Amino acid sequence: MPPTQIQSLFNGGHRKALIAYITAGDPTPERTPELVAALERGGADLIELGVPFSDPIADGPVIQRGAERALKAGTNVHKVLDIARTIRKTSKIPLLLFTYMNPVLRYGLAKLASDAKEAGIDGCLLTDLSVEEASPYVGAMRASGLDTVFLAAPTSTPERLKLVAEYSTGFIYLVSRTGVTGEQASLSGSVQPLIDSMRAVTKLPLAVGFGISTPQQARDVARMADGVVVGSAFVRLIEQNGDLETYTRSLRQGMDAAGNKA
CATH of the domain at 56: 3.20.20.70
**Within a domain: 13:** yes
Alpha carbons 178 and 222: distance in angstroms, whole number: 20
**Exposed e or buried b for every residue in 108-125, given b needs 16+ CB within 10 A?**
eeeebbebbbebbbbbbb
Residues serving a catalytic function are 48, 59
pLDDT-derived band at 58, boundaries 50, 70, 90 = low
The tally of domains found in the chain comes to: 1
Residue 216's CB: how many other CB atoms inside 10 A? 14
Rounded mean pLDDT of 168-187?
68
pLDDT at 152: 94
pLDDT at 186: 47
Q: Are 47 and 39 in contact (CB under 8 A)?
A: yes
pLDDT at 185: 43
3-state secondary structure of 83: helix
- Helix ranges (H only) for 26-153 are 32-42, 61-72, 77-88, 101-107, 109-119, 135-143
**Within a domain: 240:** yes
Quote the mean pLDDT of the chain: 92
What amino acid is encoded at 215 in this protein?
A: P
**Within a domain: 39:** yes
Residues 6+ apart with CB under 8 A from 238: 22, 23, 26, 27, 35, 66, 244
Alpha carbons 252 and 239: distance in angstroms, whole number: 21
Residue % of the chain over a pLDDT of 90: 84
Higher pLDDT, 91 or 59: 91
- Look at the chain and count its residues: 262
pLDDT surpasses 60 at 261: no
Residue % of the chain over a pLDDT of 70: 92
- Range of 10's domain? 5-144+213-256
**Within a domain: 137:** yes
pLDDT at 165: 98
**Within a domain: 199:** no
Alpha carbons 182 and 213: distance in angstroms, whole number: 9
- Over the stretch 180-235, which tens digit does the pLDDT of each residue have? 444 444 465 778 999 999 999 999 999 999 889 999 999 999 999 999 999 999 99
pLDDT-derived band at 151, boundaries 50, 70, 90 = very high
